[in-house]
Structure formats: C-alpha cells, structure tokens
Structure 1
Amino acid sequence: MHAELTIDGGVGFFPGLARPIVLDAKDLSPDERAELARLVSAARTESAAPRAAAVKPVPDGRSYRIGIASDDGTLDLKCADPSVPTGFAALMAFIKQHGHR
C-alpha cells in the first residue's frame, strides 16, 4: 500500500514548496501496516456515508487529498476545512507521523 497526502491552501501557502507526504507500507512494521489498513478502511467507510449539508468554505482554509494505491486499486479521499471527518483526520495524522516528504 502506498499513500500520499497533499495539503493545499492556507495562510502563507507556497505551491512550489508544498510537496506531498508519502508513506509506503513496506517501510512500516507489521503492527503499523495493520493500523494503516484499519485507518484506510475507516476513512473509506466514512467517505461513503451520506454527507451533511454543505459547509461554507473558510477563508484561507486548507484542502486535503489522500491518494491510496494498493492491490485493491486506487482510492482518492478529499476534504477541506472546516469539515474534516474524524476517520480522515486520523489517517492524515498517521501519514504525517510515519511518512516523509
């Protein structure tokens, strides 16, 4: 499994300096790989759930994209401030902690 987190926007955003955070499951321990798989599954389930009413964008808010490639295919998860779902936030935190630029 390969995951890539891209963050766009926000105060002081410089597109040329905004490289994605990359995480490859082969660089993780077996326990961490299992946790990554659990977080991806939770975020996928959460993204398939019916959405609440649209939330007005925040000035200078950030948008987030997590692209995941695995043996099962590819998955593209997206959200933006101020409505970052819990499962997405947990997956994003894991990628930030274990990934690299």
Structure 2
Amino acid sequence: MQAELFIDGGVGFFPGLARPIVLDEKDLSAEEREQLSQLVSAARAEPAVAKGAAIKTVPDGRTYRIHITAENGTTVLSCADPSVPPAFAALMAFIRQRGNR
C-alpha cells in the first residue's frame, strides 16, 4: 500500500512548489503497517460531508486529498478546512510524520 497526501491552498500556496507527501508501507515496521491499515480503514468508513450541503468556505483554507493505492486499486479521500473529520486527520498526521516529499 502507498499513500500520498496532497495539500492545496492556504496562505503562501505556490502550486508549482507543492509536492505530495508519500508514504510506502514497505518503509514501515510491521506494527506501523498495521496502524496504517487501521487508519485507512477508519478514514474510508467515516461518513463524508453530504454532497450539496452548504459548506462555509474559509479564507485561505486548505484542501486535503489522500490517494491510497493498494492491490485492489486506488481510493481518493478528500476534505477541506474547516471540516476535517477525525479519522481523516489521524491518517493525515500519520502520513506527515512518516512520509517523505
């Protein structure tokens, strides 16, 4: 499994300089791989904000996308400030701590 975290927007955002944070499970210990798997499952199961629901935008807010590539295909999870669900935030923190640009 590989996870890529893309962060767009925010103060001082330069699209040409933005690169994803990449985390490959091959670089993790067995315990960390299990933790990644649990975080991904929780983020996938978490209900997303209803489509069409009125979301108040935040000036200079960020959008977040996590591309998860596994043997069974690719899944894309996304959200934006200020509505970052807890399981998504936990997965994003894990990728930030252990991934590379």
**TM-score (structure 2 length as normaliser):** 0.93
- Count of matched residue pairs: 99
The one-character-per-residue Cα deviations of 1:55-91 (angstroms, maximum 9, x if unpaired) are 2110110000000000122110000000000000000
Structure 1 stretches of 4+ moved >6 Å: none
Give the aligned partner of residue 91 of structure 1: 91
Q: Return 5+ residue gaps in structure 1 as ranges.
A: none
Range 71-80 or range 32-41, more displaced: 71-80
Percentage of matched positions with identical amino acids: 71
Match of 1:51 among 19, 26, 49: 49
Q: Compute the displacement of 1:99 (Å).
A: 0.2
Q: What are the Cα deviations for residues 4-49 of structure 1, in whole angstroms up to 9, with x where unaligned?
A: 0000000010111110000000000000000000000000000xx2
Instruction: Provide the rounded CA distance (Å) in 2 between the counterparts of 1:11 and 1:50.
Output: 25
Partner of residue 28, structure 2: 28
**What is the TM-score normalised by the length of structure 1?**
0.93
